[in-house]
Amino acid sequence: MAKFSNQFLSYYDAFPKGNAEKNMVFLPIWIWRIWAPIAGKKTDINVFQKTILEFLHIGHQDRQELAQWIGVDIELINLVIDTELVPRGLIQIDLKDKKITLTPKGVQTLDDEIERTEDLQAYYLVQDAIIGELWHRLIPNELALLDVQENNSNIYIQGSRDSGKSINVFLVEPREIKEPQAPTPYKINQTIKNHNMALRGTLIRDDDPKGKYLDGQNLKNFEFYPQKPEAFFILSHLDESLDSSHVCQLQDPCHVSKYDEWIQSLHFDLATKHQGFAKKIKRYLKQDIDSDETIEEFETRLLEETSFELAVDFPFSERIENLSQHLNRLLTRKKNLEEKRNYFDIDDLLNQCQKALEACFKHMLCHWKHKHANTTPKQLTREQIKTVLVLQVGEYFCEDLLEKIKTVNSSHVFSANGYSAGRFPQVNVSLKPLIVSSLLCVTEYQQHPLILRKQHQQDLQQLIEICELRNQGSHDSGEEVDITTALNLSEFTLDWISFYTAIEA
């Protein structure tokens, strides 16, 4: 079979580590160029104002005539001229003959606008070479080419600079290499619309504070010329799904958004058209490659099993924001680890334990509130944190436990306190500061969840252990957690969450 391409793209700022390296894939795509005004160049006037300025600049003064040419009511022409262009100093009106002329500022603004619309750069449409559809993505400015090595039909890329090792990447080669037809203007407009919607969601969540893909309204003024598409492979990797309706997903190859419907279902669409990729997903999910069960059937079955378990053991989980989806993933990872005993599932399991507990503790801080936002200062030393904890909850928890948790970031605890007191609408901190913040208001509630169970000291011990082991995994400490420990902590997590959600019944 002929090779699809020897050109490879990557938009990863940093390559994934650990298990993710084993699940990297190159997806085949066709690239089309469009041209649009350079992103980031902002116009000082809108299209309607620009049109009126252009007519006035070439000597058309009659307002009724302007309204007819532009196709609007004369009231709108009067409104723009008298309340927008005159106050901004772009035009001036002679008091005697009512003649309208552009001021030097108006002439310069019009010249800048003309120059802006003529200064174009390339953007890239991405068309899937397996499915045949345009992706809901645009690549701005330039293509990030990646060096690869080929050895016995295997493709390798260089890993992180620290490791210096090569990573074998699964190549999704199309069975049929057929150059596609050029996209229609409607399809291009839809792609731009979908891209901007995904981008808007990303910016709202602040996932890309650098604004790398901020194209604004400029893309709507695109130009598309007759051309032949170029063939490329683009890098992605399989990972846990961020959507509770799936078990896994592909990471967005263009790094625009992690959350929209298109990226969450892309692996489905590719697997139905490419048997080799379907087998790759089954290996990722630790399933029998020879099974006749499709990826969709497998995910549906697994999610039905975990949904049943959720309904039986955690009937009130829906009352806590995001808890059901975290429990869904936790149960899925736990089943994988129990059945397959793969060490690289341990980090995923501990991560899901922490996320599920974080959802509970955020809920706890909202229902067992701090009476004051400034319960503790923003900056405290570790010994000061320990002293505060001993004074607040020393009668409930032994000093050795409070010693272990004093390493918490005090500014994160301050944020959690403020969130609990209603000072901040959201809080983005990890589990440990949420636990410490909850401990600091235990004395205000006789029935506080952290002291309600007889084994509350053991509960805190295991909560701290989950925090510490998760931190080790996140920072590549070299200290490995064994399977038995991970499963025991997941059992504790499920037991504690079952207890907590029952309080809310």
> For the segment 110-137, what is each residue's pLDDT rounded down to a tens digit?
887 766 555 678 889 999 999 999 999 9
Q: Output the six-digit token pair for 226.
A: 């007759």
- Element (DSSP H or E) covering residue 296: helix 295-313
Q: Which of 68-82, 206-220, 407-421 is least confident? A: 206-220
Of 115 and 57, the one with more pLDDT: 57
In percent, the amount of the chain with pLDDT more than 70 equals 80
Cβ partners under 8 Å of residue 489, min gap 6: 350, 353, 462, 465, 466, 469
- What torsion, rounded to 10 degrees, do the Cα atoms 483, 489, 492, 494 define? -80
Of 419 and 117, the one with more pLDDT: 419
Core vs surface per residue 288-324: b (16+ CB within 10 A) or e: eeeeeeebeebbeebbeebeebbeeebeebeebeebb
The segment with the largest mean pLDDT, out of 211-225, 242-256, 320-334, 454-468, is 454-468
Cα dihedral 486, 353, 280, 275 sign: positive
Asked if pLDDT for residue 3 goes beyond 80, the answer is: no
Q: Residue 72 CB: number of other CB atoms within 10 A?
A: 15
Q: What is the DSSP letter of 145?
A: B
Q: Which residue has the tokens 């082991």?
A: 469
- Element (DSSP H or E) covering residue 289: none
Helix/strand/coil for 31: strand
What is the rounded CA–CA span in Å between residue 121 and residue 337?
Answer: 49
Give the pLDDT of residue 272. Answer: 82
Residue 217 near residue 38, CB atoms below 8 Å: no
What is the rounded CA–CA span in Å between residue 336 and residue 338?
Answer: 6
Give the pLDDT of residue 371. Answer: 79
Q: Output the six-digit token pair for 39.
A: 């992103």
Question: Across the chain, what does the average pLDDT equal?
Answer: 82
- What torsion, rounded to 10 degrees, do the Cα atoms 141, 146, 147, 151 define? -140
* Segments of 244-295 assigned E as strands: 248-250
Residue 14 near residue 45, CB atoms below 8 Å: no
Give pLDDT tens digits for 226-240.
899 999 999 999 887
What is the rounded CA–CA span in Å between residue 142 and residue 79?
Answer: 42
Give pLDDT tens digits for 276-318.
888 888 777 766 555 667 777 766 666 666 665 666 677 778 8
Of 219 and 64, the one with more pLDDT: 64
Residue 497 near residue 334, CB atoms below 8 Å: no
Q: Which whole number is the average pLDDT over 263-288?
A: 81
Single-letter code of the amino acid located at 226: P
Residue 263 near residue 252, CB atoms below 8 Å: yes
- Element (DSSP H or E) covering residue 230: strand 230-240
Helix/strand/coil for 25: strand
Cβ partners under 8 Å of residue 6, min gap 6: none
For residue 477, is it left (φ>0), alpha (ψ between -120 and 50) or beta? alpha
Give the pLDDT of residue 203. Answer: 60
Residue 7 near residue 155, CB atoms below 8 Å: no
Residue 187 near residue 34, CB atoms below 8 Å: no
Give the pLDDT of residue 361. Answer: 96
pTM of the model: 0.51
Q: Output the six-digit token pair for 355.
A: 């996320």
Asked if pLDDT for residue 18 goes beyond 60, the answer is: no
Asked if pLDDT for residue 19 goes beyond 70, the answer is: no
Q: Residue 35 CB: number of other CB atoms within 10 A?
A: 13
Give the pLDDT of residue 210. Answer: 42
In percent, the amount of the chain with pLDDT more than 90 equals 34
